């Protein structure tokens, strides 16, 4: 399994017991979606290694208490500390309406209700306090806040996202 074909689930942050149970800090708004996983990939070095899950349950909000097969003591659990977990993109439930996964919208066309065609979405910057669409127009990067009020339509058939941005936002990037 290649990392580019997977999505990040969370990171192993702590041991729960001396019997090898671990706590995973999940990167999600819906942690309950991850309580029924049968297996997961753990990044060890530059490889994604499959691990089968014996049991899992939510533990205090975004923590998932996990017992992996063949991890049954503290030493084995220590070896997995601070490692990231991944699942294949195919494990994501399909989203409808104006909801989308960040990886899903790469190469979508962005159109603004007032401005017209803005460009092609090349990425999402989620390292800021508000996620931003990274849109390219003729070699110029335009950053559009990923604000629910701005997003008018996500059309998966035409691979287009229609937005309505404040006056002057797009032009600000295009004038010298």
Residue 115: give its domain's CATH number.
Answer: 2.30.30.240
Quick one: average pLDDT of 121-140? 93
Closest Cα to residue 155, out of 132, 115, 121? 121
Q: Are residues 11 and 46 in the same domain?
A: yes
Of the three residues 67, 91, 115, the one that is the final residue of a domain is 91
In a domain, 97, yes or no: no
Looking at residue 78, its pLDDT comes to: 94
Quick one: average pLDDT of 148-165? 96
Of the three residues 66, 91, 116, the one that is the final residue of a domain is 91
d(CA 110, CA 163) in angstroms, rounded, equals: 7
Q: Per residue in 69-110, pLDDT tens?
A: 999 999 999 999 999 999 999 888 788 889 888 888 999 999
Looking at residue 176, its pLDDT comes to: 67
List of long-range contacts for 39-47, beta carbons under 8 Å, 24+ apart: 40/9, 40/85, 40/86, 40/87, 41/1, 41/6, 41/85, 41/86, 41/87, 41/88, 42/12, 42/80, 42/83, 42/84, 42/85, 42/86, 43/3, 43/83, 43/84, 43/85, 43/86, 44/83
Looking at residue 17, its pLDDT comes to: 82
The secondary structure element, H or E, covering residue 80 is none
Q: What angle do CA 162, 163, 169 make, to 5 degrees?
A: 140
Question: Is the confidence at residue 28, as pLDDT, over 90?
Answer: no
Question: Is the confidence at residue 29, as pLDDT, over 80?
Answer: no
Mean pLDDT of all residues belonging to the chain: 92
What is the CATH classification number for the domain harbouring 38? 2.40.30.60
Q: Are residues 8 and 78 in the same domain?
A: yes
Looking at residue 94, its pLDDT comes to: 81
Range of the domain at 56: 3-91
**Does residue 73 contact residue 18 with C-beta atoms inside 8 Å?**
yes
CB atoms within 10 A of CB 12: 20
Of the three residues 91, 125, 159, the one that is the final residue of a domain is 91
Question: Is the confidence at residue 61, as pLDDT, over 80?
Answer: no
Q: Are residues 8 and 68 in the same domain?
A: yes
Quick one: average pLDDT of 34-57? 94
Q: Which two tokens stand for residue 4?
A: 């580019």
**Does residue 110 contact residue 134 with C-beta atoms inside 8 Å?**
no
Q: What is the pTM of this model?
A: 0.70
Q: Are residues 24 and 76 in the same domain?
A: yes
């Amino acid at each position: 399994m290649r990392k580019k074909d997977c999505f990040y689930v969370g990171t192993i942050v702590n041991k729960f017991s001396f019997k090898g149970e671990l706590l995973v800090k999940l990167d999600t708004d819906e942690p309950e979606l991850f309580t029924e996983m049968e297996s997961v990939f753990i990044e060890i070095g530059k490889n994604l290694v499959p691990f089968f899950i014996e049991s899992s349950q939510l533990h205090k909000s975004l923590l998932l208490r996990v017992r992996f097969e063949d991890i049954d003591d503290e030493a084995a659990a220590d070896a997995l500390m601070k490692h990231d977990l991944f699942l294949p993109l195919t494990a994501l439930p399909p989203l409808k309406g104006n909801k989308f996964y960040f990886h899903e919208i790469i190469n979508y066309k962005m159109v603004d209700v007032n401005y017209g065609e803005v460009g092609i979405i090349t990425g999402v910057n989620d390292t800021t306090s508000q996620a931003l669409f990274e849109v390219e127009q003729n070699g110029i990067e335009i950053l559009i806040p990923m604000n629910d009020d701005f997003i008018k339509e996500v059309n998966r058939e035409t691979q287009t996202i229609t937005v309505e941005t404040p006056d002057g936002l797009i032009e600000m990037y295009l004038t010298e």
